[in-house]
């Protein structure tokens, strides 16, 4: 009879926190990356991001949907870790401690990565995409 291997706490936490953070910022990270590789112009990158935000710059419905999906990914990571961990024969106290540590990793790292992506994408938009958009709009006029 083979025992299931205990899941790696750190890898699990990084995987789900990174997935949640990228999902939450998909509205800004995706157009920035596409613009960076020359697959999207400035006007299209701005219009893609504008779809997710209100005119005053606050989060719109699309951005909130992405944030809710990001939180759901974090919860799924915790749920699936717990389910996988319960297949292993380890001490119940250790299981509880692992679960608390995982929740901490996903929450802290997920929010940290989300805020970092948000700051980076805002900087990238201001530094590169907005000037490209202005240049594209001036050429067309």
Q: Summarize the chain as % helix, strand, coil (round to 5).
A: 80, 0, 20
In a 3-state reduction of DSSP, which class is residue 33? helix
Answer yes or no: is 71 within a domain. yes
For the stretch 91-118, pLDDT in tens is 888 888 989 999 999 999 999 999 999 9
Answer yes or no: is 121 within a domain. yes
Answer yes or no: is 3 within a domain. no
**Total domains, the chain:** 1
Structure tokens at 92: 């119940």
For the stretch 2-48, pLDDT in tens is 456 777 889 999 999 999 999 999 888 889 999 999 999 988 888 88
Measured on CA atoms in the order 59, 62, 68, 74, is the torsion positive or negative?
negative
pLDDT value of residue 86: 76
Answer yes or no: is 22 within a domain. yes
Reported confidence tier of residue 141, pLDDT bands at 50, 70, 90: low
Answer yes or no: is 48 within a domain. yes
Answer yes or no: is 44 within a domain. yes
Answer yes or no: is 70 within a domain. yes
Cβ partners under 8 Å of residue 136, min gap 6: 41, 42, 43
Domain, as residue range, for 126: 10-140
Answer yes or no: is 4 within a domain. no
């Amino acid at each position: 009879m083979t025992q299931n291997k205990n899941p790696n706490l750190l890898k699990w936490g990084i995987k789900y926190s990174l997935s949640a953070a990228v999902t939450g910022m998909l509205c800004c990270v995706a157009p920035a990356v596409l613009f960076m590789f020359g697959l999207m112009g400035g006007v299209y990158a701005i219009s893609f991001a504008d779809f997710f935000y209100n005119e005053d710059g606050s989060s719109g419905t699309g951005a909130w949907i992405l944030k809710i999906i990001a939180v759901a990914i974090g919860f799924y990571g915790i749920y699936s870790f717990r389910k996988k961990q319960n297949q292993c024969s380890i001490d119940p106290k250790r299981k509880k401690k692992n679960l608390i540590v995982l929740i901490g990793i996903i929450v802290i790292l997920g929010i940290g990565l989300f805020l970092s992506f948000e700051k980076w994408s805002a900087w990238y938009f201001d530094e590169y995409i907005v000037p490209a958009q202005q240049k594209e709009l001036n050429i067309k006029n």
